[in-house]
Amino acid sequence: MENSKDNMRINWFPGHMAKAQRMMREHVKLVDVVIELVDARIPLSSANPVIADIIENKPRVVALNKADLAETAWTERWIETFRSQGLQAVAIDSMTGKGTKALISKVEQGASAAIAKLVAKGVRPRAVRAMILGIPNVGKSSLINRLLGSATVRTADKPGVTRGKQWIKVSNNLELLDTPGVLWPKIEDPSVALRLAITGAINDEVYDLEQVMAKFLTMLREDYSERLSERYKLTLPLPEDSEELLRLIGSKRGCLRSGGVVDCDKARKIILNEFRGGKLGQFTLDRQLPDRE
């Protein structure tokens, strides 16, 4: 990890991720279509740039997961952007199952050409084979569990828990190849690193929480001050200094040590967990669409 107060860079690429990346390259030839799972709150920042190189010419369906935590209007704009790039895209919520039927339909459509080629060669029709790719903690295992209807695949809140290769039969018409979550070796853009840290794609133990939350509180104050005011019973306008704002929130939430001193670390964790859990409302942090060619 590289860290500086002015230019935050977070690089987290454990050995199992490098191994998983090699495995993906080896097994992508076994599938008909690739499902790329991204976080609907950060559709661009959570898209691994290595994936396009790994899958080469395979059809790809982009699934914007955790859509319930993202702003609906922005999710729709991102879906249109992906479609303008020639990609199938759909918003889903793997926890409730919303959008999963549409996802399966688009996966089957994406694989139709490959299946037709097999039939033309005299091969008996078989189930569509799809590979799920995505960064850590974006909800791959939760999606598979939802498709299966039971908690068959091991999940955890910490990024990077899924290991190895797993073929999962969803139905007679669809088989999924699950893969571990993989980041890219070096995250060059500090703003991308910040968004990945905020949403939980990067292990909380490898970055400076104080630095991340100072930047995040600045973002929230600038774009969502009314949300903060409502949630934490604060008077507008909010303090411009992020540390002052943090202490104010900590005081309101009772994060006090002996002598009435605010426990800032506890306050940081409360705000971050409430954001991730949707208690602060719906957020889309990627708010700059790429230029259309």
Question: CA–CA separation, 104 vs 147, rounded Å?
Answer: 9
Find out whether 142 is annotated in a ligand binding site.
yes
d(CA 64, CA 226): 26
The sheet carrying 166-171 orders its strands as 88-91, 60-65, 33-39, 128-134, 174-178, 166-171
137 marked as part of a ligand binding site: yes
C-alpha span between 235 and 225 (Å, rounded):
10
Look at the alpha carbons of 5, 278, 153, 111 in this order and tell me if their dihedral is positive or negative. Answer: negative
* Residue 105 marked as a ligand binder: no
Contacts (Cβ under 8 Å, ≥6 apart) of 132: 34, 35, 37, 140, 143, 144, 176, 177, 178, 179
Spatial contact of 54 and 27, defined as CB atoms under 8 Å apart: no
- For the chain, report the end-to-end CA distance as a whole number of angstroms: 35
Does 165 appear as a known binding residue?
Answer: no
Determine contact, residues 68/98, Cβ cutoff 8 Å: yes
91 marked as binding residue:
no
Instruction: Specify the DSSP class assigned to residue 254.
Output: T
Binding site annotation covers 241? no
In the three-class reduction of DSSP (H, G, I as helix; E, B as strand; rest coil), residue 56 is classed as coil
- Binding site annotation covers 141? yes
User: Is position 150 annotated in a ligand binding site?
Assistant: no
Q: Is 65 annotated as a binding residue?
A: yes
Binding residues for GTP: 65-68, 137-142, 181
Binding residues: 65-68, 137-142, 181
